[in-house]
Amino acid sequence: MVEVETNGIHPPYKANVPAAEDVNDSPIEQVRLTVPITDDPKLPCLTFRTWVLGVISCALLAFLNQFFVYRQNPLYISSVAAQIAVLPIGKFMAASLPNKIIYVPGTKWSFSLNPGPFNMKEHVLITIFANSGSNPVLQ
Per-residue pLDDT tens for 58-88?
999 999 998 998 889 988 999 999 999 999 9
1 has a pLDDT exceeding 80: no
Q: Assess whether 28 and 65 both reside in one domain.
A: no
**pLDDT range class, residue 21, cuts 50, 70, 90:** low
112 has a pLDDT exceeding 60: yes
48 has a pLDDT exceeding 80: yes
5 has a pLDDT exceeding 60: no
Q: Assess whether 16 and 63 both reside in one domain.
A: no
Question: What proportions of the chain, in percent to the nearest 5, are helix, strand and coil?
Answer: 45, 10, 45
Q: Assess whether 61 and 85 both reside in one domain.
A: yes
- List, in order, residues 6 or more apart from 70 with CB less than 8 Å away: none
27 has a pLDDT exceeding 70: yes
Neighbours of 17 (CB within 10 A): 11
Q: Assess whether 20 and 53 both reside in one domain.
A: no
33 has a pLDDT exceeding 90: no
129 has a pLDDT exceeding 90: yes
Q: Assess whether 9 and 55 both reside in one domain.
A: no
Domain around 11: 2-34
Q: Assess whether 57 and 111 both reside in one domain.
A: yes
Q: Assess whether 12 and 71 both reside in one domain.
A: no
Per DSSP, what are the bridge partners of residue 2?
Answer: 15
Burial pattern 49-71, b for ≥16 Cβ within 10 A else e, equals bbebbbebbbebbbebbeeeeee
89-109 residue pLDDT tens = 999 999 999 999 999 999 999
Give me the number of domains the chain comprises: 2
Q: Specify whether the CB–CB gap between 62 and 129 falls below 8 A.
A: no
